Structure 1
Amino acid sequence: MGCYRMRAVRYHEHGDESVLTFEEDVERPVPTADQVLVRIEAASVNPIDTYLRGGNISPTAGLPHVGGSDMAGVIESVGEDVNTFEPGDRVFATGLGIFSPGTYAEYTVAPADMLAHLPEKVSFRDGAAAAMAFATAWRALITRGELSLGDVSLVHGASGGVGHAAIQVAAQAGSYVIGTAREGDPASLARSLGADAVIDYRTDDLASRLKDAADGRQLDVVLEPHADSHLEADLARLTRGGRVVIIGEESSIKIPSGPAMTAKQADADLRFMSLAASADDQAPILRQVAPRLADGRFTVTVDRVFGLNELPAAHERLMSSGVLGKIIIDPSI
């Protein structure tokens, strides 16, 4: 019996967005005993997808490779050892595309323990948009950052994919939330999602602005995706025992000697985080996120929607300035 086919976007070599190739006749993956096959209704685009595409991180399956980390869709079939899901279930997931096929396709397979049920009230596009954004924000602020009621938190890139989720996670946790974003629509979005203060990150004196924004208080937890740019200001305003959680794939991070000594004397922590190394955490977090999406406590902002054949433009958009929220891929377009 012949194998089933699907449309997908793959890259056969590492490089810029031009290596992304739309293909209409790709073999559909087959689930193993502990996997499920999902018909993808929506996917989203994340920075880690560009790291994989560029070769900074290598997919374990080698090339050619279907990219994409997030998805929301409907289960088509389940492996013989799967008893937590069944065909027809609505699901969403993140952290795919490294150890399993990615989500820039009409179908993907994923380990059942990486999936969470998607409530009927949540659209597939919103589920895909929320997956990595909220999993990253929650793990960074709550799990790694140990954010508590009354803490002062700082979220850099507050209008972006992870940032706009982190503002909501921090606000829901009862934190006083400061965000950095460009003035105009990005700052307005951050404020609408719960930021108590927003600073334009292009300021020449970020540490002083942070002091003013926090009414003189110091920072308890910082979500830091651009440590090469902001770490000196973060450390200058960090409280005793404060935590800076560093996400992203910065190739090098230089800690200035003065603020580093201040942070050391204050018993402050620099905590690094990788979602690729935390697959076991993601589905449990998404199970916490799902009801909050369903009842409106958490919301997602969609910047643009692209079709599979528009993936190069979607990646280009992701790396441009001014992106508000998440970029979505709809395989039906």
Structure 2
Amino acid sequence: MKDVEQPTANAGKFQNRHVTADGSQRASVALSRPETLWFNTGTLCNIECANCYILSSPTNDALVYITADEVSGYLDQIEARGWPVREIGFTGGEPFMNPQMIEMAGACLSRGYEVLILTNAMRPMMRKTMRAGLQDLCTRYGDKLTLRISVDHFRSELHDEERGAGSFEKTLEGMRWLRDNGVRMAVAGRTVWGDSDADSRAGYAAFYQAHGFDIDARDPGQTVLFPEMDETAEVPEITTACWGILNKSPEDVMCASSRMVVKRKGAPSPTVLACTLLPYAPEFELGDTLQEAERDVHLNHPHCAKFCVLGGASCSA
């Protein structure tokens, strides 16, 4: 497990789980409406992006491949705990690097869950076995399956700036195949270039129209625009008083509605994390079972403030 270094810009902050630097009571979030359970399929990826928050690459196996049997075990726990889960999400790394990706998605779909897979739609997804599996799942479950494609920017040169030369065209090839085979798509983009929300959505709308992609650029669930998660940026700590000041509810924060399961290299079994964005922060590891993961989450990290409370972002559809 990686050590988490305290960013210089936030020196003195985010040190105590219960109290902020000025002695105020730190805000916490209860798991009030568990709607999404995420599985990290492993940190291995076919490419290495410039600003990957989880440091995925062709060599990073800090999080190893989770198995279909392990996923099914957590689906059993959802039912045993009575969690009202609507959606199962898969993220990586690149999920289609995991040889059991189709089997895992099928296990979730067969139990009635919606399934969301985050992918770059490149070569791992385009392997013959994966394409055949996706065609079968689409035939059996239709729009219960969604692939959210990483298109960092609608302009090829900016997308390739993040993901490497030629990446945009390879992703576009995968998206065309998904379109032609009726697989439901969404898109995840980035706001690092400073475009306004309106300009970004107009650009994606033109991109979708040009290629015949049935994706709504105005719907934040279909076109998700993520801010960069810079841990060195100065951010305020969130206290219990902030809910009233910001006119925001703890239920609006991502950890009120989701958890993520990962399997660390060398670990005998998977573990449950509070958040998809903090895979290497030990404080946000809640235990091996969903029952253990039902406890409150204290917002003791810059991402909690900048990305979730102030940014209002969510990884779910």
Q: TM-score range by the shorter chain?
A: 0.3 to 0.5
Computing the radius of gyration from Cα coordinates, the structure with the larger value is 1
Higher strand share: 1
Relative contact order, higher structure (CA 8 A, sep 6+): 2
Instruction: State the TM-score, normalizing by the size of structure 1.
Output: 0.32
